[in-house]
Amino acid sequence: MRKYDLVLVLRTSLKEADRKKILSGVKDSLKDAKISKEEDWGQKPLSYPIKREVSGFYVNIDIESENALPSDFEKRITSQDSVLRHILIRGN
- The pLDDT of residue 68: 82
Residue 68 near residue 30 (C-beta atoms within 8 A): no
Contacts of 14 (CB under 8 A, 6+ apart): 22, 57, 82
Domain locations along the chain: 2-90
Q: Which CATH number fits domain 2-90: 3.90.600.10, 3.40.630.30, 3.30.70.60, 3.40.140.10?
A: 3.30.70.60
User: Quick one: pLDDT band at residue 88, thresholds 50, 70, 90?
Assistant: very high
The pLDDT tens digits for 13-61 are 999 999 999 999 988 888 888 999 999 999 999 999 999 999 999 999 9
- The pLDDT of residue 32: 82
- Does 92 score more than 80 pLDDT? no
- The pLDDT of residue 29: 86
